[in-house]
Chain A
Amino acid sequence: SQQGEEDPQALSIQEGENATMNCSYKTSINNLQWYRQNSGRGLVHLILIRSNEREKHSGRLRVTLDTSKKSSSLLITASRAADTASYFCATDAGIKAAGNKLTFGGGTRVLVKP
């Protein structure tokens, strides 16, 4: 079974709408991160939320974390065509020494139609 699983696998919305995607994980974590990948490009770090935080904002991004349910959500408000990408959640190993040894979910493909 997977450490990180995103839901939904794909999402299609109109420009200006909000996009919400969820991530579940299985083991203890120090933090959870979200990355974006545009087609054919590398992953870009978006936001990190620590295990003792419940909500974090960065521009049009809002991330929540519920450690009791081992789940996180990423909300993109007022979406733009440029937000079209795949979004991945990633969890660390829960051990500080493990650093950036991350476990990624399968990703959510978001299509924002103009």
Chain B
Amino acid sequence: EAGVTQFPSHSVIEKGQTVTLRCDPISGHDNLYWYRRVMGKEIKFLLHFVKESKQDESGMPNNRFLAERTGGTYSTLKVQPAELEDSGVYFCASSQGGSSYNSPLHFGNGTRLTVT
């Protein structure tokens, strides 16, 4: 079984540019999550998809961030325009069910975003 894959693994962009991160969850996992860890801070929840629907996007920092999951398969997270404080590691995770008890998260290796 392939794990959660994220692309790219690293991205270096200039302030004001646009970056799109992609996540391919484990096949059959309806639940997809985005988390991020900015430098020196905790890993924080961004949003949760159930299939193609946004279940919870309360963690999205502002309207420069747009997440989509067309068709309920892979997801993209676009940052436009990028700011310096967006630098960090963006993790995608998926789970088969929606319960934290019987469906632990499977994480990808993350995308390290550097905004200069």
| Given contact pairs A88-B43, A92-B100, A99-B48, A40 touches B56 in the complex (Cβ within 8 A) | no
Is A100 in contact with B98, judged by CB distance below 8 angstroms?
A: yes
How far is A100 from B93 in the complex, measured between Cα atoms in Å? 10
* Contact residues in B for A98 (Cβ distance below 8 Å): 56
Pair B100/A99 contact, Cβ less than 8 Å: yes
Other-chain residue from A31, A101, A105 in contact with B42 (beta carbon distance below 8 A): A105
Residues of chain A contacted by B62 (CB below 8 angstroms):
none
Partner of B101, one of A30, A35, A40, A104: A30
User: Given A100-B98, A101-B56, A102-B100 in contact, is the A44-B42 Cβ separation under 8 Å?
Assistant: no
Interface contact tally, CB-CB below 8 A: 75
Q: Is B44 an interface residue (CB 8 A)?
A: yes
* A33 / chain B contacts, CB cutoff of 8 Å: 100, 104
CB distance from A102 to the nearest CB of B (A): 7
Knowing A99-B48, A106-B42 touch, does A45 contact B98 (C-beta < 8 A)?
no
Interface size on A, residues (CB 8 A): 27
Taking a contact as CB atoms under 8 Å apart, the answer to whether B101 and A48 are in contact is yes
Asked if residues A99 and B98 are in contact (CB atoms below 8 Å), the reply is yes
Shortest Cβ distance from residue B73 to the other chain A in the assembled complex, whole angstroms = 19
- Whether, in the assembled complex, B75 has its beta carbon less than 8 Å from a beta carbon of chain A, the answer is no
Say yes or no for A60: interface residue by CB 8 A criterion.
no
**How many B residues touch the partner, as a band?**
20 to 34
- A69 at the binding interface (Cβ < 8 Å): no
**Chain B 74-116: CB-based contact to A (< 8 A → 1; otherwise 0):** 0000000000000000010101001111011111111000000
Q: CB within 8 A of B91: which of A31, A42, A105?
A: A42
B interface, CB within 8 angstroms of A: 3-4, 31, 33, 35, 41-45, 48, 55-56, 59, 91, 93, 95, 98-101, 103-110
Q: List 27 A-B contacts (CB under 8 A).
A: A31-B100, A31-B101, A42-B106, A42-B108, A42-B109, A45-B104, A45-B106, A48-B100, A96-B99, A98-B56, A99-B31, A99-B95, A99-B99, A100-B31, A100-B95, A100-B105, A101-B48, A101-B59, A102-B35, A102-B45, A102-B100, A102-B105, A104-B35, A104-B42, A104-B44, A106-B41, A107-B42
